[in-house]
A = this chain, B = another copy of it.
Amino acid sequence: MSKPVVDAAAWMERFGMLPPPGGTILCAVSGGRDSVCLLDYLWRLGQERGFSVAAAHLNHGMRPTAQRDEELVRRLCRQRDIPFYTEKVDVYALCDAWRLTVEETGRRARYEFLRRTAASIGAAFIATAHHREDQAETVLLQLLRGTGPQGLAGIPPVREGIIRPLLDTPRAAIDAYIAAHDLPYVTDETNLDTHYARNRLRLEIMPQLLTINPSAPAHICRTADILRAENDYLDAQAAALLPDTGTALPCHTLLSAPAALRPRMLRLLAERLPVGKKDFSAAHYRALEMLAQTGGTLSLPGGAAAVCRQGTLTLTVPDASRPEETPLHPGDNRVGAWHIRLSDTFSPDALAVRPGAWSARPWRREDGLTLPGSRGRRSLKRLLAERGVPPEQRDAVPVFCLAGQAAAVPGVGVDASAVPEQPGNTIYIQLF
């Protein structure tokens, strides 16, 4: 073969995606052309570079073709002697339990399965098959949605153990690879109707943008790379000017900082609010900067407020907007905005727990869970992050406590200490 049609090794080296000798990459494989290409490519590269590849496939059970997809990936793996891990999940049932869209539920279930599988086989990385056009679409969508420089950084090549080896590879190269190696793949017909905005962008708008500049995806990816590095640098600079903890900041620290860093300092400070910085906009950061000069108070999104007094700017969340820890009684409970049902009747979307003094409250920084079968206690913050709950949405998830200790969280699981001891002696907690 002449020049390889997919050549991601330099990209992988650049971002430290190559596992240590003898290490394993767990490759997420839906069976679509991108992930089939990724699996085969990593498998070949692994033979050259001395690492192993395993495959993980979550059967979403949402389409009649789901079983066909699973079989295709299984066969690909068998032919190559690649360890294959699969699980079935009922996404629709989870949707109800997690109160999320089908799409978001599928994504979380998938990442949860990948993390669990990677941990169980000791994989160094989880690889997903996002490619250059995915990245370009993401950057454009974020630009349209106004997420600021953070959003323009796009999909990170590496984050929290997840690597994107093909992120700089054009889709055309993937197609050529599939053809050159005569690889079988499935077509996910839902790509044509779900993800409305993204599909419109992909199918209708992108082809037009390419007529303006055929290299647009490459240019957008390169710009995202640069912005990502600059963004990290600016965040580090801004963070270094903040106190280590808390949401109070001396006004002179803010006002003596370079103007370009001030909104970023305020953004990082707002992220420390228990309600996060959801709905904060550039105008809010400008108003906060003014407040630091004039003194006074300011209402902020999410029920937060800012006070500037005696040379200190403090962001606060009035207690009223975060419900207190509230005991749960059998039947329907109301805690803050949550409707919580405690029942002794089985329900597929409920958390099954042992009986006891249960209560509900918002998450706290110190919360953690020891999930059954896991290797120890992990912070709830981390567990939520792994399930795709962004910081500003953490307060939307109630924490159920047993005798005052965080013990069960919808969408995350039940602490080992709170799982029912015998089937007969179980109660069920659910959001409704």
Which of the 9-residue segments A143-151, A248-256, A299-307 touches chain B? Answer: A143-151
Q: Is the CB of A215 within 8 A of B146?
A: yes
Chain B residues near A260 (CB-CB < 8 A): 229-230, 232-234
Q: Is the CB of A259 within 8 A of B219?
A: no
A146 CA to B213 CA, complexed, in Å:
9
A:94-126 near B, CB below 8 Å: none
Q: Is the CB of A222 within 8 A of B282?
A: yes
Known: A205-B208, A282-B225. A230 touches B146 (CB 8 A): no
Known A144-B209, A226-B263; 4 more pairs at CB < 8 Å? A144-B219, A146-B213, A149-B223, A204-B208
A11 CA to B282 CA, complexed, in Å:
14
- Our pick among B144, B149, B152, B208 for the contact of A212 (Cβ within 8 Å) is B144
A12 CA to B200 CA, complexed, in Å:
37
Known: A143-B219, A220-B143, A260-B232. A149 touches B209 (CB 8 A): no
Interface set of A (CB-CB < 8 Å, partner B): 139-141, 143-149, 152, 197, 200-201, 204-205, 208-209, 211-213, 215-216, 218-220, 222-223, 225-227, 229-230, 232-234, 258-261, 263, 281-282
A204 CA to B204 CA, complexed, in Å:
11
Nearest opposing residue in chain B for A281, CB measure: B222
Q: Is the CB of B209 within 8 A of A205?
A: yes
A201 CA to B213 CA, complexed, in Å:
11
Chain B residues near A143 (CB-CB < 8 A): 139-140, 143, 216, 219-220, 223
Q: Is the CB of A218 within 8 A of B146?
A: yes
Nearest opposing residue in chain B for A200, CB measure: B212
A371 CA to B376 CA, complexed, in Å:
79
| Most B-side CB within 10 Å, residue of A141, A143, A226, A234 | A143
Minimum C-beta distance from A210 to chain B (A)? 9
- Our pick among B148, B213, B229 for the contact of A226 (Cβ within 8 Å) is B148
Nearest opposing residue in chain B for A232, CB measure: B260
Q: Is the CB of B259 within 8 A of A233?
A: yes
Q: Is the CB of A233 within 8 A of B208?
A: no
Q: Is the CB of A282 within 8 A of B144?
A: no
- Our pick among B144, B152, B200, B211 for the contact of A152 (Cβ within 8 Å) is B152
Q: Is the CB of B223 within 8 A of A146?
A: yes
Known: A205-B208, A212-B141, A233-B261. A226 touches B149 (CB 8 A): yes
Q: Is the CB of A216 within 8 A of B144?
A: yes
Minimum C-beta distance from A240 to chain B (A)? 12
Minimum C-beta distance from A197 to chain B (A)? 5
A174 CA to B139 CA, complexed, in Å:
30
Chain B residues near A212 (CB-CB < 8 A): 141, 144, 197, 200-201, 205
Minimum C-beta distance from A15 to chain B (A)? 13
Chain B residues near A216 (CB-CB < 8 A): 143-146
Nearest opposing residue in chain B for A261, CB measure: B233
- Our pick among B141, B144, B223 for the contact of A148 (Cβ within 8 Å) is B223
Chain B residues near A230 (CB-CB < 8 A): 149, 230, 234, 260
Known: A259-B229, A259-B233. A213 touches B145 (CB 8 A): yes
Known: A205-B205, A205-B209, A212-B141. A148 touches B259 (CB 8 A): no
| Most B-side CB within 10 Å, residue of A140, A213, A260 | A260
| Most B-side CB within 10 Å, residue of A144, A234, A261, A282 | A144
Chain B residues near A282 (CB-CB < 8 A): 222, 225-226
A263 CA to B259 CA, complexed, in Å:
22
Nearest opposing residue in chain B for A218, CB measure: B146
Chain B residues near A215 (CB-CB < 8 A): 146
Chain B residues near A200 (CB-CB < 8 A): 208, 211-212
A281 CA to B221 CA, complexed, in Å:
13
Chain B residues near A261 (CB-CB < 8 A): 233
Some 11 contacts from A to B, beta carbons below 8 A apart, are: A143-B216, A143-B220, A144-B216, A146-B219, A146-B222, A148-B226, A152-B227, A201-B212, A208-B208, A225-B282, A226-B282
